[in-house]
Amino acid sequence: MSDQIHDRLLIIDFGSQVTQLIARRLRELSVYCEIHPYQKVDDAFLRDFAPKAIIFSGGPDSVTRAGSPRPPQLAYDLGVPILGICYGQQVMMQDLGGRVEGGKISGGGGTAEFGRAYVTPSDERIDLLTGWFLDGREQVWMSHGDHVAALAPGFAVYGTSPNAPFAITADLDRRFFAVQFHPEVHHTPNGKTLYENFVRLAGFTGDWTMSAYREEAIRLIREQVGDKKVICGLSGGVDSSVAAVLIHEAIGDNLTCVFVDHGLLRQNEAQEVVTMFRDHYNIPLIHADESELFLGELEGVTDPEVKRKTIGRLFIDVFQKYANQIENAEFLAQGTLYPDVIESVSFSGGPSVTIKSHHNVGGLPEKMGLKLVEPLRELFKDEVRALGTELGLPASFIGRHPFPGPGLAIRCPGEITRDKLEILRKADAVYIDQIRKHGLYDEIWQAFVAILPVRTVGVMGDGRTYDYACALRAVTSVDGMTADYYPFTHDFLGETATRIINEVEGINRVTYDITSKPPGTIEWE
């Protein structure tokens, strides 16, 4: 968002795997920051960005190599505090007149170091380290091949580890700080304190709050859109919902939401979305009930990829059909988040900068000649949730588990039939009810039932049954990229199986999926 009213911190990315975590730590401290690849940060960019402080990230390159990544000289001349991390430390030392040595050099000067290490303080304590060394030493995470061999003029050492004599260095006059380890990772348990000290000494007041963001986002949406019309595809998920409510606050009824109901939603889901948006928020909403179309086209389809492609194709066609009915629409709103737009530094293969962009309704804006409104593109997922709370969305809605675009289709391996979907909906509702009743919903990242394409023999009362088997899935995860199964107690599993078999006609066998990801995926298809 240009034209900001809050303080800004710039993270110059030199390609570390964990640069995003720096941003996470800072956002948790209510500090607004942006990550930009070093290739993009030139003098003009720096002047325009006007950072109140700068962080140099780590990176895989070696400053001893000619042509290795560097910040522009202006970064040092702006007079703002700088924190260099790992490669960022080495860059700072080399640029300012110190010396860095490469490779594994044992003894004396320092060696390559990977993993946990302990830093002990020098005699002089500095503001950056307030709250550190309370037990005499501090656990940190090291991951470096090169090391600083001679400090740049003006710098002194404030912490050492057995293999890193220059673990913490600083030029207090210029407020330049440089550390060999990674304070942003989990394995540096007190790392957040170090960031907290850095932003405090840089003068940040913690002005990045969701209520400030809300005001600013509304102003900018109005500026961008004027009196033109905006269409927003609602999925019922948190991101598109928060985007819709925010845009509606900004431009009122010039926003129309289109909710494509593909007949693959969970029990009561369509009704809940429609009630909330149309009745509670008074947002103009088209409920495109196209379940006949989707389920018709999916008849007889068993291949998971064909299912996904069919749904994707129909979704775009349907969305476009309804969007075309909205006269003078010039903008399409999307719930794109910051992790989708961070330009990551790529050192291997392809162009030097890879831009990950996420289109919920891929390709549509160009096809329909629409411009994009993406009011969440600076937020992380938990910030979207905080903004949703700020906008008054119910907590039960904001905390909902993710639900995939193709819906129940990918939880129904084999052929999708209306009967199976109905059984699946009921079983899923019982399972989620159980999880809520036991107070486990917020501990679990995602939970659902899959109905299996097998029927098994059972006995109920005195009779034989021949019904479907189902699998319960519940995982813990941070971002869905990796996941572990949730360790329910046997009591919970037993009680849930009994309830599903008693309450859901059509299921006579319940299994629990204990596969992690990898090697499994979260969804069954």
Strand 8-13 vs strand 32-37: parallel, antiparallel, or unpaired?
A: parallel
Distance CA 142, CA 44 (A): 34
Cα–Cα distance measured from residue 14 to residue 58, given in angstroms and rounded to the nearest whole number: 6
Q: Are 365 and 332 in contact (CB under 8 A)?
A: yes
Write phi, then psi, for 199 (nearest 5 degrees): -70, -30
User: In the structure encoding, which two tokens stand for residue 406, read together?
Assistant: 């193709």
Q: Which amino acid is at 160?
A: T
**Secondary structure (DSSP) of 114-137:** EEEEEEEE-SS--GGGTT--TTSS
Catalytic residue among 33, 86, 257, 470: 86
Structure tokens that stand for 195 in this block? 């960031």
Contact at 8 Å (CB) between 476 and 445?
Answer: yes
- H-run or E-run covering 430: helix 418-437
Residue nearer to ligand XMP on the CB measure, 188 or 446: 446
For the CB of residue 518, give the shortest distance to ligand XMP in the complex, in Å. Answer: 9
CA pair distance 512, 473, nearest whole angstrom: 6
Min separation Cβ 167 and ligand XMP, Å: 38
Closest residue by Cα to residue 82 from 192, 169, 166: 169
Angle (CA) 361-407-444 rounded to 5° is: 110
Nearer to ligand XMP, 206 or 414 (CB): 414
Using CB under 6 A as the criterion, which residues of the chain lie in contact with ligand XMP when the complex forms?
Answer: 402, 404-406, 446, 480, 517, 521-523
Closest C-alpha to 63, from 38, 112, 100, 36: 100
Count CB-CB contacts under 10 A for residue 8. Answer: 16
Q: 443 an active-site residue?
A: no
Question: Is 505 tagged catalytic?
Answer: no
Q: Which of 6, 144, 182, 248 is catalytic?
A: 182
With a CB cutoff of 8 Å and minimum separation 6, the contacts of 410 are: 304, 307, 308, 404, 523, 524, 525
Per the annotation, the verdict on 184 as an active-site residue is yes
Active-site residue among 138, 184, 374, 523?
A: 184
Distance from C-alpha of 10 to C-alpha of 140, rounded to nearest angstrom: 23
Within 8 A by CB and 6+ apart from 448, the residues are: 401, 411, 428, 431, 432, 473
The least distance separating ligand XMP from the CB of residue 522, rounded to whole angstroms, comes to: 3
Closest approach, Cβ 499 to ligand XMP, in A, equals: 24
What's the count of helices (H) and strands (E) in the chain, helices before strands?
A: 16, 22
Give the C-alpha separation, 165 to 321, whole Å. 66
Sign of the Cα torsion 121, 127, 132, 133 reads positive
- Residue 236 C-beta: closest distance to ligand XMP, Å: 11
Give the C-alpha distances (Å, rounded to integers) separating 386 from 9, 25, 361: 21, 16, 25
Strand partners, 353: 345
Q: How far is the CB of 523 from ligand XMP (least distance, A)?
A: 3
Q: How far is the CB of 474 from ligand XMP (least distance, A)?
A: 12
Active-site positions read: 86, 182, 184
